[in-house]
Structure 1
Amino acid sequence: MKIKAFFDDKHTKIYLFSFVIVLIFFQISYGLDVVLPTNIAWLLDAHHDWGTHYLGWAFYRNEPWTFPLGQMENLCYPVGTNVGYFDSIPLLALFFKIFSGILPDDFQFLGAWLLFCQLMLAVFVVKIAKLYNVKGIYILAGVILIACNPVLIYRGMHPSLCCHFFILGSLYYYLKPLDKTNVIGVNNKQVYLLLLSSLISPYVCFMIIGFNFILPFKSYFYDKLISLKRALVYPIVSLFLVLILWSVFGMVDFSDSVNLEVQNSYGLYGFNLNSFFNSSGFSSIFPALPQVTPFQYEGFMYLGLGMMILIGMSLIVLFTKKKRGAVLELKTTNLPLLILVILLSLFAVSNKVTYGSNTLLEYPLPSFIMKAGGVFRASGRFVWVAYYLIMLLTLLLFVKSKYNEKLKITVIAIIVFIQLYDIKTIYLYRDLKSGTYTSPLSNEKWSNLLKHFDRVITYPPFNNNLLRPWDYQDLCFLALKSNKAISAGYAARENLEKNHGFIDSLNTNLNQGIIFENELMVTAPKYLDAFSVALHNKTANITYLDGYYLLYSKKNKGVSPIVLDKKDQSKIDSVYNQYNKSNVLEPIDKPGFKDDFQFNIEELNATQTVINISGWVFRKGINNNQKDSIFVAVSNNSKTYLMKAKPIKRPDINEIFNKGNLDNAGFNATVFAGNFKKGKYDLGLAIKSGDGKWFFSATGNIVDIGREDFVKPGPLKKLPKSEGTIGNVDFFEVKKDYVSISGWAAFQNQDSKDNGISIVFIGSKGNFCIPTQKSQRKDVTAFFKSKYNFDNSGFASKMKLKELPKGEYKVALLIKNKVTNAEALYTSKRILEVK
């Protein structure tokens, strides 16, 4: 009897019918099989955001438990990242990680989450409708129009952002009549909504946090049901708890340098004033309308033709007093809600007001708003609150009007039909695959190779489009299946300082031909020059798979060569031939070097047999260098060796010097100097013009050819003061017989141009010092954003351990200015133990 009574209850029937409606629309939009936990094909086959979200969760479940709870090390290696930065729904990722050991290898919860979000949206549509005693037939129409709206279906590309039910839930608790029996419970529930949203989507959390201010304010100021103290405590505690949760999960870290703000991005993804009626191509009736930038898709807010007609009819009701229902008379208690919606909408529009393809107005804003806009750069989304409020009010105004009931039912049925016809494209455009995911890469060959390594280093690191768009997902999937770390991953926020530090250390090692035994390097053909030293010195093996070149140290003896077909083997043979021979032209008599060039050497690294140099150069007095060829000139007392540089497009040179066309000013060169006599050489540049004339200019740099790669330490009798310096040891690796160290150091309030850097080992048996090779660190200058230039602050060096007495040493950096002779010490946290 109880079961029968349950299904006989009219409210229960409304919920059941609403759920059926949602299930039908979900089947049409996605297919119910996306809910199956082992179905990952639809996520990874998309090669877009879905794959990112899945990989974030899949790597996270395999990580050891850490604090902060959301931290990951094997994705975006070695800097690491946070599962929250992959929009992998941190709350659910944490929950399912607890049970990871009993879950299938291919397990996803994103499909079930999408369905849950839409069902919960329907729940709150019903709840709000019940507040105003709306009849069942209208509630079901509202479920179709609101819980199955085009914005939610469109936003399915980001499952974490589909929790729109938090917005409707907040509206419900604000609109719900309060009394002494429920006021505390309702305010508490709003706090719970906020806390849950904070571990699902920071964007939605930021949207609804305003309700945690206006609801207590309404409870105190209008309803007179809580004290002023409680009205103040609610928003303060809410904010505090959100920050605590984010800190515990690692989504914010006040001691770290993760770049939460994307500078100069506020307004780029803003709301266009035509967005409510701009279908963006998803209408069966209206074409897509122009916008200022393609990034304004974040402000997609199409209402649909049916809803727009209903808005027009509801406005007629609003201004026709005889037909307007008394239930929706304007109340001052709704003023805080109106203010909140206006503020969020203004933030969405940004300070660049646009309509169509035109910018109507641009005005300055306080820095704290611009900073918030940089953190929440997809500001167009913040109209969602207004979007749902408009739809709710429109529906309520019409169904509560005093028009004939049969007329209203007929009209609402026609409205629903028009709406569904208009936006049918957005329900039907997805064609999702189902089942297990089959990578386009040769799984077996890759996995057989990967088992011999601890990690995969994609080159360049943190590049998510190495060979083809979004191919990092397939590389990450291979690493995931082999349980390996990988230096790729599309995180929403990055620690740019650490990223650049690793890239610089990696380049320093590659410039010396160093590839570590436990690392598999994966790169695309266009980046192969970065490995030229290792290939020339024959310290690396190379193979070819699925369009990628894979390189690894010859010291790793356990790797079995991959059997390649003739076509792929010919590619490998061609690479060996290219890099094994000398790329230096026959020496010429040393010409006259003049000061006829405008140039800048941006990077210079020289080892025993290789010189890497890059920068830009052009002849003074010319406005076009399109036919010029750039060469590196290495000279001793009598001879000059020339090597043709690889041209690099540099349009920025035109902008700086305001010339005609100097795009060809950039260059990059690797000089294999193994056949040179040992000694010091002057480094110069040469340009061959289009008519065959040669021009030479010195750079002022000297390179030491034939010197030992491993430097020897000397005693340091007196340690300089340790103040006024900045620096870091980014890379510190102790091998069986040597130590390799790289990083950066500088005086805190001084350009690094004239600085020399040495590494100091401070121990009980004495202090020792080794010289370093300089490297460019523009990321340091960019990070500090000061008036000082730290580009010349990078260093790298290697030393045989046997050169030091046994013992424990603190590692410090000695900085000395060559002009003023000022010197100071930067002490790192690194410890070197010589056994």
Structure 2
Amino acid sequence: MTPALPERTRRMLGSAAASVAANAGPLGAAGVGLLAFLAIYGPAALDPTRLGWLIRDDFSQHLLGWLFFRNEPWRFPLGAIDGYLHPLGTTLGYMDAIPWVALLLRPFSGLLPADFQYIGPWMCACLMLQGASAAWVARRTGATVAQQWLVGALLVLSPTLLARMSMAHEALCAHWTLILLVGLHLAPQRDARDAKQALGIALALCVFAAGVHPVIAAMVLALALSLCARTALERKLPWRWPVLGAVVHVGSVLVLFYVLGYLGTVRTLGAGSFGGFSADLLAFVNPLGYQRDFSWSRFLSPLPRQGAQYEGFGYLGLGVLFALWAALVLVVRDAPLVARHWRRWVPVALVALGLFFFALSSRVTLRGELIADLTRLYAPVMRWVEPFRSSGRFVWPLYYLLALGAALALIRLPKPTVAPSLLALALALQAFDVNLGRGHQAKEGPAWNTQPSDALRELAVGREHLVLYPPQMHDGSGRGCRAGPMDFHRWAYRAYRLGLTFNSGYVARLDDARAQSYCLGLDDDIRAGRLDPRTVYLSIPQRLHEFRAIRGTRCVQEERLWLCVLEQAPAPPVERAAP
């Protein structure tokens, strides 16, 4: 006979089974997110030791931020990186390297392999949390397990999220935080406990988003503040609770921005070109994404837009558009019910519409054609809005309010038996319509994470720096010095493997004055023969003659560049006697 399990073990197993059953909806929707990730990128992207597929687009910048951070001592601000873009330095935040993840892994860096990435696992987690969050919100509104799965799967197939993954913007893939906050607005607050829980979740999301990406943090903070307003209107708590919550939300984000180095590390946060990276008025029905020859819809034709308005991409998908149409019919038929719940949707609707207005920027367009110039309106506050020059991204709160709100409205149909059928139809339309496309797989690119050569290893012995000459250091606005080779990533990787600093790189924000001063000073030093014996210089062929003119230097060719070092101190210049 099989021995009976101890009572304590049986209780634990029973509790675990009950927990799984209670969370079957979010867990199932998370599984849909996992399947979607595997369909797009494949299982190889989950291998943390596989780096070759990260050579394209911005992935390499984000990866190098994490790699160089591994060689750094702990200092303030948290996430400071002195070895990349040396001697200017930067931070994890300005490398879009998801600071919270890097800081969490840093104590274990010595146990991790030298080639280690978390970009693939992070994007997979975002897709899984996208589905789980939508399903969790649906459960809070009374949905069945099947309905939770359908809502979660529908939100997993959001072209806006999938487009961010294809654009190599993994830090901007935490859309599940927006879904949770929008959902907390739409879910009922039955008592004070529900209200306190909602404010606590909002605070946790503000703290989390501040260490992921400033754009995500700004949207999360705006939605958290509107949740405080909704809580005040519900009157389930004394007014001081939502007021205190609003103060704590704002304070926590600002403090973390300072601690993580977003504030105080560069002279200006402005990026220029505000109004170019905007959203079009037809963003929600335009399937044209980042690539001009690629449509995210298999059925709808792309609409015209301006060149950089891919940042305002917000195509809902045919399934969500169908759900939205059905929800509008329901709203018209049951307007008194919607009016009775105005406290739930009015605060979040006002904030989402306000952010959508900001997404349109100072140059409002329709089908790519300018219809309103609001430059004078933005002029007094340009200093504050310019850091978010990619304003088009701020369509996301309204995007998820429409998508999630439509799906939840279908659940509340007068005939509950019809809801699963309509949700299933919406999901089928979304699945058939959304074009997962070509070129989004985690395919190996040209080998860039190759080991340092024997010659470079030999020259690096006893030295601390690898200096590309001329440098290639710039930010998203083109500020800095851009005379050096564009394929600097391979040399940055080799510097990381050798424990050397590297003087070039691409970051989100750069102190242009310091960059220009460094680049001009480097020119003056080399032309004057002042080489640093602790440095390996990496010169383009056109500037090799400057090193060969310096006594005591040795140069060897490495691929298409030249490695030069000062092997002995140059003789002091002979002073001529005065005539």
Superposition TM-score, scaled by structure 2 size: 0.87
2:275 aligns with 267
The answer to whether the 8 Å contact 1:132/1:327 transfers is no
The 5 A counterparts of 1:447-462 are: 447-451=457-461, 453-462=463-472
Q: Following TM superposition, by how much is the alpha carbon of 1:103 offset from its aligned partner in structure 2, in angstroms? A: 1.9
Provide the secondary structure at the position in 2 that maps to 1:241: helix
1:350 aligns with 361
| Residue 111 in structure 1 maps to residue 120 in structure 2 | yes
Aligned partner (choices 25, 29, 40) of residue 18 of structure 1:
29
The answer to whether the 8 Å contact 1:125/1:142 transfers is yes
Distance 1:710 1:199, change over 3 A: farther
Distance 1:447 1:259, change over 3 A: farther
Q: Give, in whole Å, the separation in 2 of the partners of 1:417 and 1:249.
A: 43
Distance 1:449 1:20, change over 3 A: same
1:89 aligns with 98
Q: Give, in whole Å, the separation in 2 of the partners of 1:23 and 1:58.
A: 26
Considering only aligned residues, what root-mean-square deviation do their CA atoms show, in Å? 3.0
The answer to whether the 8 Å contact 1:170/1:208 transfers is yes
The answer to whether the 8 Å contact 2:26/2:136 transfers is no
1:131 aligns with 140
Aligned residue-pair number: 548
Q: Give, in whole Å, the separation in 2 of the partners of 1:83 and 1:711.
A: 52
Q: Following TM superposition, by how much is the alpha carbon of 1:392 offset from its aligned partner in structure 2, in angstroms? A: 1.1
The 5 A counterparts of 1:36-47 are: 36-43=47-54, 45-46=55-56
Q: Give, in whole Å, the separation in 1 of the partners of 2:389 and 2:126.
A: 24
Q: Following TM superposition, by how much is the alpha carbon of 1:298 offset from its aligned partner in structure 2, in angstroms? A: 1.0
2:300 aligns with 286
The answer to whether the 8 Å contact 1:298/1:380 transfers is yes
1:524 aligns with 540
The 5 A counterparts of 1:256-405 are: 256-263=265-272, 265-280=273-288, 281-292=295-306, 294-321=307-334, 326=337, 331-363=342-374, 364-367=376-379, 369-402=381-414, 405=417
Q: Following TM superposition, by how much is the alpha carbon of 1:105 offset from its aligned partner in structure 2, in angstroms? A: 1.8
1:766 aligns with none
The answer to whether the 8 Å contact 2:49/2:115 transfers is yes
Distance 1:543 1:418, change over 3 A: same
Distance 1:248 1:332, change over 3 A: closer
Q: Give, in whole Å, the separation in 1 of the partners of 2:120 and 2:322.
A: 33
Q: What amino acid does structure 1 have at the position aligned with 2:540? A: A
Q: Give, in whole Å, the separation in 2 of the partners of 1:350 and 1:38.
A: 41
The answer to whether the 8 Å contact 1:512/1:534 transfers is no
Q: Following TM superposition, by how much is the alpha carbon of 1:472 offset from its aligned partner in structure 2, in angstroms? A: 1.8
Q: Following TM superposition, by how much is the alpha carbon of 1:7 offset from its aligned partner in structure 2, in angstroms? A: 4.3
The answer to whether the 8 Å contact 2:467/2:538 transfers is yes
2:491 aligns with 475
Provide the secondary structure at the position in 2 that maps to 1:239: helix
Segments of 5+ residues of structure 1 without an aligned counterpart are: 558-707, 713-835
Q: Give, in whole Å, the separation in 1 of the partners of 2:219 and 2:555.
A: 51
The answer to whether the 8 Å contact 1:466/1:523 transfers is no
1:739 aligns with none
The 5 A counterparts of 1:663-742 are: none
2:442 aligns with 432
Q: What amino acid does structure 2 have at the position aligned with 1:87? A: D
Taking every aligned residue pair, what percent have the same amino acid on both sides?
24
Distance 1:368 1:476, change over 3 A: farther
Which structure: larger Rg? 1
Q: Give, in whole Å, the separation in 2 of the partners of 1:318 and 1:184.
A: 29
The answer to whether the 8 Å contact 1:33/1:434 transfers is no
Q: Give, in whole Å, the separation in 1 of the partners of 2:360 and 2:445.
A: 41
Q: Give, in whole Å, the separation in 1 of the partners of 2:319 and 2:46.
A: 30
Provide the secondary structure at the position in 1 that maps to 2:565: strand
Provide the secondary structure at the position in 1 that maps to 2:351: helix
2:220 aligns with 208
> Which structure has more RCO (C-alpha within 8 Å, separation ≥ 6)?
2
Q: Following TM superposition, by how much is the alpha carbon of 1:240 offset from its aligned partner in structure 2, in angstroms? A: 2.0
1:184 aligns with 196
Provide the secondary structure at the position in 2 that maps to 1:360: strand
The answer to whether the 8 Å contact 1:70/1:250 transfers is yes
Aligned partner (choices 531, 551, 563) of residue 550 of structure 1:
563
Distance 1:25 1:257, change over 3 A: closer
1:246 aligns with 257
Q: Following TM superposition, by how much is the alpha carbon of 1:556 offset from its aligned partner in structure 2, in angstroms? A: 7.5
Q: What amino acid does structure 2 have at the position aligned with 1:320? A: R
Q: Give, in whole Å, the separation in 1 of the partners of 2:466 and 2:315.
A: 43
Q: Following TM superposition, by how much is the alpha carbon of 1:404 offset from its aligned partner in structure 2, in angstroms? A: 7.8
1:217 aligns with 229
2:554 aligns with 541
Provide the secondary structure at the position in 1 that maps to 2:308: helix
The CA deviation string for residues 392-444 of structure 1, in whole angstroms up to 9 with x for no partner, is 121122332235835x5444434322321221334x54231479976368744
Q: What amino acid does structure 1 have at the position aligned with 2:532? A: F
**Which range is displaced more, 446-455 or 104-113?**
446-455
Higher percent of residues as helix: 2
2:477 aligns with none
The CA deviation string for residues 111-131 of structure 1, in whole angstroms up to 9 with x for no partner, is 222222222222221122123
Q: Give, in whole Å, the separation in 1 of the partners of 2:136 and 2:27.
A: 13
Q: Give, in whole Å, the separation in 1 of the partners of 2:420 and 2:575.
A: 86
Q: What amino acid does structure 1 have at the position aligned with 2:276? A: L
1:489 aligns with 505
The CA deviation string for residues 160-213 of structure 1, in whole angstroms up to 9 with x for no partner, is 111111111212333333322333332122112101110111111100112332
Q: What amino acid does structure 2 have at the position aligned with 1:112? A: P
Provide the secondary structure at the position in 1 that maps to 2:192: coil
| Residue 69 in structure 1 maps to residue 78 in structure 2 | yes
Q: What amino acid does structure 2 have at the position aligned with 1:193? A: L
The answer to whether the 8 Å contact 1:327/1:400 transfers is no
The CA deviation string for residues 269-304 of structure 1, in whole angstroms up to 9 with x for no partner, is 111122212212222223333212x22111111111
Superposition TM-score, scaled by structure 1 size: 0.61
Provide the secondary structure at the position in 2 that maps to 1:549: strand
The answer to whether the 8 Å contact 1:455/1:518 transfers is yes
Q: Following TM superposition, by how much is the alpha carbon of 1:466 offset from its aligned partner in structure 2, in angstroms? A: 6.7
Q: Following TM superposition, by how much is the alpha carbon of 1:366 offset from its aligned partner in structure 2, in angstroms? A: 4.2
The answer to whether the 8 Å contact 1:173/1:186 transfers is yes
2:7 aligns with none
Q: Give, in whole Å, the separation in 1 of the partners of 2:575 and 2:521.
A: 17
The answer to whether the 8 Å contact 2:224/2:249 transfers is yes
2:58 aligns with 49
2:525 aligns with 509
